[in-house]
Amino acid sequence: MTMTKEKTRASWGQYFMNIATEVATRSTCDRKHVGAVIVRDKTILSTGYNGSIKGLPHCDELGHEMIDGHCVRTTHAEANAIVQAAKNGVAIKDAEIYVTASPCYHCFKLIANSGIIAIYYDEFYRDERILNHAEEAGIALIHLD
């Protein structure tokens, strides 16, 4: 008699976070690999990872540009996902974003101003200002365990 192991189907949230985790493998800053996936109606609209300005050397090739303990050579994953949507003419108003690490304050502002209505994140990363501002802006900020 053969025993088969039943596979558990991922929830939509876990599915998109798994994809964000895979997107993060493209990151070119070895200090932190972050991936983002913008989704609406269970459809992926755009992805992004933290990486250098298009056409310029990457951190893992040239080294880091450090200011106040942060590498500023890279564009963050959330910003890259938003820019990719804009570059390709994809509307992201009323979408959700899945990010492997919660957004920094700057990226949070970009997310809010883009019309994204929910942020799902895996790891909380540094900036607690987003907690109050998400509530004030009516943006759901959800930690996926």
Enumerate the active-site residues.
78
134 within 8 A of 119, measured Cβ to Cβ: yes
Q: What DSSP character marks residue 5?
A: P
Closest CA relative to residue 23, chosen from 51, 2, 1: 51
98-111 b/e (C-beta count within 10 Å ≥ 16 → b):
bbbbbbbeebbebb
Closest CA relative to residue 65, chosen from 54, 79, 75, 55: 75
Q: What share of the chain is helix, strand, coil (3-state, %, to 5)?
A: 35, 25, 40
Task: Tell me how far apart the alpha carbons of residues 91 and 106 are, in angstroms, rounded to a whole number.
Answer: 21
